[in-house]
């Protein structure tokens, strides 16, 4: 009898231990899943702000945030514009801080020719936008900075156009990117300025994912998709004290909007932030391209 009771108690204790281990394992599994599934607060705030209801788009945004955090470029961005949802009221918001506020770098679309689809925002002939992001003020280290855009069109735009950027006429400090430009020559190559140093890319194709980045005091690199288009090893330090525009450049040497600055290219994604190294660029390109192609 004593032997039977002893075995019975042992069995009860063993089952209890296994149950606790299973519950502990499930708890850890759920915790890890939520951690890897990432920033529900970021996604939730963005969905609330935009009013997006499409279930697939929500899933794609969730996946984008997860990959951005896992691959290390989420924290390198001050601003992420997914340009998703097909309306100005959904495309205007910064995924990193989706408040309807200048201080959250919410986009204002100007010019009267904008059109919006599920994939991109098309500025038309005279559309441009204000980001309220001043690189001189909002980028902590001028030697670590980037701009990126996903352009849907291989269109020439104005002869001094920009997809995103600003240029100070008096200090000659610039921070802008054009995926296809007729300045400084008529070739139509990609063109970028960081500080007072302009440089061109190679080839002529204004469509794709373009990233201009500076990761040290004197080196800037321009990418298209996963390839390096050009680099400058003489870059100086300093960024313009002007808010960045999209689909034009904020150029204080002419009346706003700069009449030669309209890009006329549809944009599907934009980021602004700290410098991106080569290995992170490869992942960033893959993540953003995948998101854009799944819109």
Q: Where are the domains of the chain?
A: 40-294
pLDDT tens digit sequence for 131-185:
999 999 999 999 999 999 999 999 999 999 999 999 999 999 999 999 999 999 9
Using alpha carbons, select from 51, 82, 123 the residue that is nearest to residue 291: 82
pLDDT tens digit sequence for 239-273:
999 999 999 999 999 999 999 999 999 999 999 99
**Distances, alpha carbon 160 to alpha carbons 99, 121, 179, 250, in Å:** 32, 21, 11, 12
Give the per-residue pLDDT at 233.
87
Residue holding tokens 């599920």?
Answer: 118
- For helices 55-70 and 40-50, the axis angle rounded to 10 degrees is 140
Give the per-residue pLDDT at 6.
39
Neighbours of 279 (CB within 10 A): 10
- Rounded (10°) CA dihedral 241, 244, 248, 254: -20
Pinpoint the alpha helices (H) of the chain. Answer: 2-37, 40-50, 55-70, 88-91, 135-138, 278-294
Q: Which residue has the higher pLDDT, 8 or 254?
A: 254
> Running DSSP on this structure, what letter comes out for residue 124?
T
Q: Are 42 and 62 in contact (CB under 8 A)?
A: no
Give the torsion sign (CA, 245, 250, 254, 256).
positive
CATH topology of domain 40-294: Jelly Rolls (2.60.120)
Average pLDDT in the chain: 89
């Amino acid at each position: 009898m004593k032997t039977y009771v002893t075995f019975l108690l042992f069995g009860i204790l063993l089952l209890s231990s296994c149950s606790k281990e299973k519950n502990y394992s499930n708890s850890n599994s759920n915790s890890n899943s939520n951690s890897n599934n990432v920033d529900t607060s970021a996604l939730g705030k963005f969905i609330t702000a935009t009013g997006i209801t499409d279930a697939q788009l929500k899933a794609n945004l969730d996946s984008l945030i997860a990959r951005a955090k896992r691959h290390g470029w989420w924290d390198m961005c001050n601003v992420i514009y997914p340009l998703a949802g097909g309306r100005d009221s959904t495309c205007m918001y910064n995924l990193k801080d989706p408040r309807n506020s200048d201080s959250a770098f919410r986009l204002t679309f100007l010019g009267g020719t904008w059109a919006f689809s599920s994939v991109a925002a098309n500025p038309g002939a005279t559309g441009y936008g204000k980001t309220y992001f001043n690189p001189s003020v909002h980028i902590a280290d001028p030697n670590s900075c980037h701009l990126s855009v996903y352009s849907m069109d291989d269109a020439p735009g104005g002869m001094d156009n920009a997809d995103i950027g600003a240029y100070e006429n008096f200090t000659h400090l610039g921070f802008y990117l054009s995926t296809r430009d007729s300045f400084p020559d008529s070739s139509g190559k990609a063109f970028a300025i960081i500080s007072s140093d302009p440089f061109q890319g190679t080839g002529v194709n204004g469509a794709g994912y373009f990233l201009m980045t500076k990761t040290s005091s004197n080196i800037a690199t321009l990418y298209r998709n996963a390839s390096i288009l050009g680099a400058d090893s003489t870059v100086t330090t300093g960024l313009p004290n002007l808010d960045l525009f999209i689909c034009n450049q904020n150029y204080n040497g002419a009346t706003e909007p700069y009449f030669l600055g309209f890009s006329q290219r549809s944009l599907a994604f934009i980021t602004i932030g700290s410098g991106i190294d080569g290995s992170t660029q490869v992942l960033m390109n893959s993540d953003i391209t995948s998101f854009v192609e799944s819109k």
